[in-house]
Amino acid sequence: MDGNGRWAQQRSLPRTAGHRAAETAVIDVIEAARSAGVEWLSLYAFSTENWNRPGAEVEFLMRLVRRVVRKHAPLLLARGIRCRFLGVADPRIPRELAQDFDDLAVLTADNRGMTLTVAFDHGGRRDIVEAARSLIRSGTPADEVTERIFADHLPFPDTPDVDLVIRTSGEQRISNFMLWQVAYAEWVFPEVLWPEFRAPDFLACLHTYRRRDRRFGGVPARTNGDPS
């Protein structure tokens, strides 16, 4: 969800106004994904590198996320959305916010409509290092380590591989997002800044995705010798 700061800058507003304006986009996209039948939606809200931002901006984001989580908990529950939070390991995260994350996850744990993963204080490399630690602790012999077994040590190992990554604002970077899971993801980079991103923009990204020819390193279906 990129472009909040630039959206604010274009309006001569403080960066925090851009973050505040992001709330509408978040809710619109969650509703659009749910209606479109998306089963797994992940939102990258705060990276392990975002701690390098000015303290006041970080504090604002912590307060904002807390308010948004509390405000929209009833909607998420009503829509049958299971919420989980990926990351959330840094001691600088306010205790009350971590508690609200836990509460929302517990509240919505039995929902099966769509799984919403909010990546907050997330870093793909950290997840891989933590998985390696967990694997070593499990005593698995080195020769028995497979990709499947390794992936079982990542957080939320039931999460499927990522099919589509949407990064708004025209930036074209991974920025440490779910590095293991995006191995064969399709990418789209809409120019629109996140605070202006809405359901039709999201659906346009899904449409682009559907037209992609996913080969996973193979050859196109029509030339693979299949007689059908």
52 classed as catalytic:
no
The reply to whether 6 sits in an annotated binding site is yes
Contacts of 173 (CB under 8 A, 6+ apart): 167
In the complex, minimum distance from the CB of residue 207 to ligand IPE, in angstroms, rounded to a whole number: 24
H runs (alpha helix) in the chain:
4-10, 15-35, 55-78, 95-107, 124-137, 147-151, 199-211
84 phi and psi angles, rounded to 5 deg? -145, 160
The reply to whether 12 sits in an annotated binding site is no
CA dihedral defined by 64, 66, 71, 75, rounded to 10 degrees? 110
In the complex, minimum distance from the CB of residue 1 to Mg ion, in angstroms, rounded to a whole number: 9
In the complex, minimum distance from the CB of residue 2 to Mg ion, in angstroms, rounded to a whole number: 4
2 classed as catalytic:
yes
Catalytic residue of the set 28, 50, 103, 111: 50
Catalytic residue of the set 2, 100, 127, 201: 2
Q: What size, in residues, is the chain? A: 228
In the complex, minimum distance from the CB of residue 225 to Mg ion, in angstroms, rounded to a whole number: 46
Contact present, 148 and 71 (Cβ < 8 Å): no
Q: Which of 90, 100, 29, 104 is nearest to 63 (CA)?
A: 100
The reply to whether 167 sits in an annotated binding site is yes
The reply to whether 144 sits in an annotated binding site is no
Token pair of 26 as six digits: 């978040």
Binding mask 1-20 for Mg ion (x = CB under 5 A): -x------------------
Residues that bind ligand IPE (CB under 6 A): 1-6, 19, 46, 50, 61, 169, 194
Q: Where in the sequence numbering do the catalytic residues fall?
A: 2, 50
Which residue ranges make up the annotated binding site for Mg(2+)? 2, 186
Which residue ranges make up the annotated binding site for substrate? 3-7, 15, 19, 47-49, 51, 53, 167, 173-175
Contacts to Mg ion by CB under 5 A:
2
